Every structure is written in structure tokens, then in C-alpha cells.
Amino acid sequence: MLDLLFTLRIQDAIDILVIAFVVYRIIDLIRGTRAVQMLIGLSVVFLTFLSSQYFELYTLNWILDNFLSSILLVIVVIFQDDIRRALTQVGTRPFFGVEKGIQQEDLEEIVRAAVSLASKRIGALIVLQRDVGLNQYIEVGTRLDARVSKELMTSIFQTTSPIHDGALIIHHGRIIAAGCFLPLTTNPHVSKTLGTRHRAAIGLTEETDAIVVVISEEEGAISMVREGRITRDVDAGTLRTTLQKLLGS
């Protein structure tokens, strides 16, 4: 009997730990995204439903009861982008997986190129591929397979270059392709002041785990985008440190 009780307690502890870890990972995935506001909205709807039952508001309760009866379908429709991104990350990088790092010299070339382009007010999109493949975007661009260098990256984004209008994709220390077109975000909460480059960067990072460095030709400023979130006016030191942390340099 004691052995059975001890076994059940161990199982309960494992069960609680697994659920706690899954909840933590879900919160980590949606933190800072529009999914947070949507979850708050659904929570308000659910609390209203409970209140309608308590205060016997029959019409309101009937409406909300019919709405919540299909809540699983509603959640799938509302959070389809977030669910797709989460499942993609789980499928390509397990919870305890270790990402491959980037060589320090390649990272320095990226930082130098970003600073140089920003100082000259030349617009650019530099995509750093991680675990999720970007073949569908690479295929519509121009394949290069070249070594990462400041000189090549700055020349690609010169307005006289035939492939300057698009994104440059880097993976495993190689410039895979340039002139690649990315999906624009459909998030209505994105600032109206952001241009096409920033919206494309946000759109790609909403669907993949890529990191995108954006240089604005209007402001001559560097921005960094990941997981659908944008950090604007990044200096060279912050860009270098953040990329080292995220890419494991």
C-alpha cells in the first residue's frame, strides 16, 4: 500500500512538472505577441459567461454558451499563426535542443555591414535562418552561396544592384540567396509608420524562427525583428550582443 502511494506521488509530481513546463513554454512563445491580448479578451468573455449564470441573465448566457461550445474551433481560427509557429519550433527544435552557433567573424561582418548601410541610408533586409527552413523564399530569389562579408552585403543592397529590392538570407555562415521576397504581416496592431521592409521582417518572423536585421533608408536606423516583435534603433554593440546571445556565437 505504501509502495503504491509512493508511486502515485511520484507520478503526480512528474505530471505537475510536465504540465508546468508546457505552460511555461507556451507563455514564452506567446509573450509579447498579439496572442496575449486575444487570451485576455477570451478570459473576459468567459468571466462574463460565469457572471451571466450567477445573475441569471438568460439571453446573454444563451449567446455566450453557444459561443463557448465551439471554443476549440474559435481558438484554432484566432491563434492559427501562433499555433503554426509553435508547432514548427517544436518540430524542428525540441524543448531541450541546442542550436548551432554562428562564427564570430561572420557575426562581425553582419554587424559591420548593417552599420555601413545605416550610415549611408541604404535600405536592407538581412535574414538569419535558424532551424526552420526558408526554401520557399530562397527559391524566388537569386542563389549566391557566397561567404559572408561586409563588402558583398553592402554591394547587394546598392540601388544600382539588380537584386537590391528584397531580402538577403544567411545560413551556416553562407549568403544563400538575395532578392528574396518575404510575406507581409497581417497583424493589425503593427504601427502604421512601419514601411514594407519592417512589415516583411515581422511577417517572416511570425511564421518562422528566423532573425531579421532591417536597415531603414528613411531614418538610417537599424532594427532587429524576432518572433514577430521589433526592436528599433539598435546600435552596433546591442546588435552584436543580441545576435551572439540568440545565435550562440
Query: Confidence band (pLDDT; 50, 70, 90) for 96?
Result: very low
Has residue 97 been placed in a domain? no
Q: Are residues 76 and 172 in the same domain?
A: no
| Predicted local distance difference test score (pLDDT) of residue 97 | 47
Q: 153, 177, 185, 29: which is closest to 93 by C-alpha?
A: 29
202, pLDDT greater than 70:
yes
Q: Are residues 191 and 160 in the same domain?
A: yes
Q: Are residues 38 and 122 in the same domain?
A: no
pLDDT digits (tens, 9 = 90+) for 120-166: 999 999 999 988 888 889 989 999 989 999 999 999 999 999 999 99
Has residue 155 been placed in a domain? yes
Q: Where is the domain boundary, 92, 116, 138?
A: 92
Has residue 98 been placed in a domain? no
Q: Are residues 171 and 150 in the same domain?
A: yes
Q: Are residues 74 and 139 in the same domain?
A: no
Query: Confidence band (pLDDT; 50, 70, 90) for 116?
Result: very high
Q: Which pTM does this prediction carry? A: 0.65
Range with lowest mean pLDDT among 79-83, 91-95, 100-104, 207-211: 91-95
Half-sphere exposure of 214 (CA within 13 A, CB side): 27
pLDDT exceeding 90 applies to what percent of the chain? 51
| Predicted local distance difference test score (pLDDT) of residue 68 | 85
Q: Are residues 59 and 114 in the same domain?
A: no
Q: Are residues 46 and 128 in the same domain?
A: no
Number of compact structural domains in the chain: 2
Tell me what the pLDDT averaged over the chain comes to.
85
What are the distances in angstroms from CA 27 to CA 20, 31, 88, 157, 213? 11, 6, 16, 37, 25
What are the distances in angstroms from CA 84 to CA 128, 207, 234? 20, 7, 29
pLDDT digits (tens, 9 = 90+) for 163-172: 999 999 999 8
Helix, strand counts (H, E) of the chain: 10, 7
100, pLDDT greater than 70:
no
Q: Are residues 131 and 204 in the same domain?
A: yes
Has residue 34 been placed in a domain? yes
Q: Are residues 6 and 129 in the same domain?
A: no
Has residue 169 been placed in a domain? yes
pLDDT digits (tens, 9 = 90+) for 71-91: 888 777 777 766 766 666 565
- Domain span at residue 243 reads 104-247
Q: Long-range contacts: 238-245, Cβ < 8 Å, 24+? A: 239/111, 239/114, 239/213, 240/107, 240/108, 240/111, 243/102, 243/107, 243/110, 243/111, 243/128, 243/211, 244/107
Q: Can you give the CATH number for the domain in which 155 is found?
A: 3.40.1700.10
Separation of alpha carbons 70 and 75, rounded Å: 9
Q: Are residues 118 and 88 in the same domain?
A: no
Q: Are residues 121 and 226 in the same domain?
A: yes
pLDDT digits (tens, 9 = 90+) for 25-76: 777 666 655 667 777 888 898 899 999 998 989 999 999 888 888 888 877 7
